[in-house]
A and B are shown apart, each in its own frame.
Chain A
Amino acid sequence: MNLVDFLIEKETIKLRVAVRNWKQAVGSGVKLLIDQGVAEPRYYQAIIKSVKKNGPYFVLMPRVALPHARPEEGAVSQGFSLITLKKPVAFGSAENDPVSILLSFCAKDATAQLEGALAQAVTIFEDENRIDNMINCATVQEMIDILKRVDFSELE
């Protein structure tokens, strides 16, 4: 299932989530994946461990993070969740902090992760105006309307 369909059908969008730090932010996004059965609880631990080891490598650009770990670290099948934060948090990325949007994902193998999940996730954030609009969303329906307008045709 593609990114936008997954978010809508599985209701894995949450807005203005209150968190105290980056770990809680990651936990909140990944919990939506775990609740859908697409990731095991250890997927969360793997992400936290990986940030400690490698730094915040999944902070894509200012304000945007794409939390994920390796497929073999607890991913069951492809899934996505999208959360915005009530107050942004720092991930320790000098270039891109603070982060306000987290698009968490998992995929069943490395190729699916790269060609399916990651490429789709990145496409959403190509447009700076869209990021503003996403952060300002007050209702899930507004977010869905924004996501439905994203053009993924270049990926085909």
Chain B
Amino acid sequence: MIKKELIITNKTGLHMRPAHHVVQEAKKYTCDIRLIKKNDKKSANLKSLVSLLKISVSQNTEVEIICEGEDEKNAATALEKVISSLVD
């Protein structure tokens, strides 16, 4: 299991378009991937847009990304990169 701690920095948070982008990346990997909000402990399956949008991840939210499975290392690295490079 690999855990990454991140802060959502893009202005609109994981709104529909950025969330879609993150989910598309997560779907490339076979491992289980979850995102947990540190403030209210709500969590989402990062391969499901519905699941992710439902927990409302806004700007400045501290989150944990947890990857578990064969390609967890690559998944965690790639998702960290995608999330930290979101612009709008």
Contacts and interface: CB of A to CB of B under 8 A. Distances in A.
Contacts, number: 49
Given A110-B15, A126-B50, A115 B20 contact: no
Majority secondary structure of chain B interface residues (helix, strand, loop or mixed): loop
Interface residues of A, number: 21
Interface of A: 54, 57-58, 60-61, 66, 68, 70, 110-111, 113-115, 118-119, 122-123, 125-126, 154-155
Given A57-B20, A61-B49, A123 B54 contact: yes
B16 A57 contact: yes
Contact of B53 (A54, A70, A118, A154): A118
Interface string B10-34: 0111111100100000000000000
Contacts of A126: 50, 54
Interface of B: 11-17, 20, 49-50, 53-58
